[in-house]
Amino acid sequence: MPTRALEAFLAEPRPTPFLVLDTGLVAQRYTELAAAFPGAEILYAVKACPEPEVLRTLAALGSGFDVAGAEEIALCLDAGADPARLCHGNPVRGPGAAAAVAAQGVRRFVTDSAEDLAGLPAGAEVLVRVLVADDGAATPFLGKFGATPAEAARLARGTAGVAFHAGSQQLRSAAFAEGVRVALRVAHAAGIARPVLDVGGGLPVRYRAEVPPLDAYAEAIHGAVAAAVTAGDVDGVRLILEPGRVLVAEAGVLRTTALRVSRRPGIDHRRWVYLDAGRYQGLAEAEGEAIDYPVRAPGRSGPPGPVVLAGPTCDGDDVLYRRKPYALPLDLAAGDAVDLLHAGAYTASYASVGFNGFGPLPVHVLNAT
Ligand X SMILES: *Cc1c(COP(=O)(O)O)cnc(C)c1O
CA pair distance 112, 148, nearest whole angstrom? 9
Sequence-distant (6+) residues with CB within 8 A of 9 are 20, 364, 366
CA pair distance 37, 301, nearest whole angstrom? 42
Contact positions with ligand X (CB under 6 A) in 158-177: 165, 168
CB of 325 to ligand X, least distance (A): 25
Please identify the residue of the shown chain whose CB is closest to the bound ligand X.
201
Does an H or E element contain 114, and which? helix 114-117
Cβ atoms of 200 and 181 closer than 8 Å: no
Q: Of 101 and 261, which has the nearer Cβ to ligand X? A: 101
Cβ atoms of 352 and 7 closer than 8 Å: no
Does 344 sit near ligand X (CB under 6 A)? no
Using CB under 6 A, which of 20, 45, 160, 182 touches ligand X? 45
Q: Of 16 and 111, which has the nearer Cβ to ligand X? A: 111
Q: Of 169 and 281, which has the nearer Cβ to ligand X? A: 169
Q: Of 21 and 328, which has the nearer Cβ to ligand X? A: 21
CB of 66 to ligand X, least distance (A): 5
CB of 311 to ligand X, least distance (A): 23
Does 179 sit near ligand X (CB under 6 A)? no
Cα–chain center distance at 43:
12
- How deeply is 210 buried, as exposed, middle or buried, from its count of CB atoms within 10 A (0-12, 13-18, 19+)? exposed
CA pair distance 173, 188, nearest whole angstrom? 23
CB of 355 to ligand X, least distance (A): 23
Here's the x/- map for ligand X, 260-279, by CB under 6 A: it reads as: --------------------
Kindly tell me the sign of the dihedral angle through the C-alpha atoms of 10, 63, 121, 235: negative
314 tagged catalytic: yes
CB of 75 to ligand X, least distance (A): 15
Sequence-distant (6+) residues with CB within 8 A of 341 are 1, 2, 253, 293, 294, 295, 296
Does 89 sit near ligand X (CB under 6 A)? yes
Q: Of 136 and 298, which has the nearer Cβ to ligand X? A: 136
> Does 243 sit behind a cis peptide bond, omega within 30 degrees of 0 on the bond before it?
no
Contact positions with ligand X (CB under 6 A) in 187-246: 200-203, 242-246
Q: Active-site positions?
A: 314
Residues that bind ligand X (CB under 6 A): 45, 47-48, 66, 89, 165, 168, 200-203, 242-246
